[in-house]
Amino acid sequence: MADDKKPDNAKLLIGKWELVKVKNEKLPTGFSATVDFDKNGKVKYAVSIDGKDTIKDAAYKVEQENIILSSDKQDRKDGRLTIKKLTEKELIVEDEEKKTLEYQRKK
């Protein structure tokens, strides 16, 4: 029996990722988004639209192929992302609305 060692999604996920595509479409001009997962279970999501920045914080945990997001803010609901592909350089997830989000690791 071969030893199929699965990658450690929790370790691979740590770092800053830049959104490059949503549903296989390039992002509109003037729009950028990054997500930064730290090793302590915190995530920071930053969106910039025509120079106006919005930053949101949440907690996360990785359960096999799922990223579980939770916020202590009353105006935000918890969420789940399904990991479709995760490598050193690429992160592809599907949100609860079946929308595919493609990220590249920022240097």
Q: For residue range 69-100, what is the model confidence (pLDDT) as tens digits? A: 998 765 566 799 999 999 999 999 999 999 99
Task: Say if residue 54's pLDDT is above 80.
Answer: yes
Q: Average pLDDT, stretch 6-22?
A: 92
pLDDT tens-place string over residues 36-52: 999 999 999 999 999 99
Q: What's the one-letter identity of residue 49?
A: I
Instruction: Output the average pLDDT for the chain.
Output: 90
* Domain boundaries defined on the chain: 9-105
User: Cα angle vertex 95, ends 52, 12, to 5°?
Assistant: 85
> CATH number of the domain at 9-105, please?
2.40.128.280
User: Cα angle vertex 12, ends 42, 66, to 5°?
Assistant: 65
Q: Average pLDDT, stretch 16-35?
A: 92
Task: Say if residue 6's pLDDT is above 70.
Answer: no
Specify the pLDDT at position 84: 97
Share of the chain above pLDDT 70, in %: 89
Distances (CA, A) of 94 to 23, 58, 99: 9, 18, 5
